[in-house]
Amino acid sequence: SYELTQPPSVSVSPGQTARITCSGDALPKKYAYWYQQKSGQAPVLVIYEDSKRPSGIPERFSGSSSGTMATLTISGAQVEDEADYYCYSTDSSGNHRGVFGTGTKVTVL
């Protein structure tokens, strides 16, 4: 089955830049989406269609995709950005099934 692979954890100091990668064979043909999930809460969409930011999401969140890797960048990370982040996409088999990445814990301290 299709897999999206993320690093388990990323640590940054406040004000620094955090980069989270997501690797998947279908990403050259499929959009990547990014979700932020804080402890005990439902996920929140922070990036859609590789690089678009929903209204209300701070400008420090940005996304890019090249080849088989998508990247979420948090420029000038804040303490409140500490959360789990998941990439999401669909497989390229023609079945269009959704897949979440393995998840990355971002620590800001």
Partner 1 sequence: QVQLVQSGAEVKKPGASVKVSCKASGYTFTSYAMHWVRQAPGQRLEWMGWINAGNGNTKYSQKFQGRVTITRDTSASTAYMELSSLRSEDTAVYYCARELVAIVVVPAAMDYWGQGTLVTVSS
Separation of alpha carbons 5 and 39, rounded Å: 21
Separation of alpha carbons 74 and 94, rounded Å: 33
The span from the first CA to the last CA of the chain, in angstroms, equals 36
Q: Which of 15, 98 has the CB closer to partner 1?
A: 98
Minimum CB distance to partner 1, residue 69 (Å): 18
Q: Residue numbers of the site for partner 1 (CB under 8 A)?
A: 1, 31, 33, 35, 37, 42-45, 48, 54, 86, 88, 90, 95-103
Q: Which of 17, 61 has the CB closer to partner 1?
A: 61
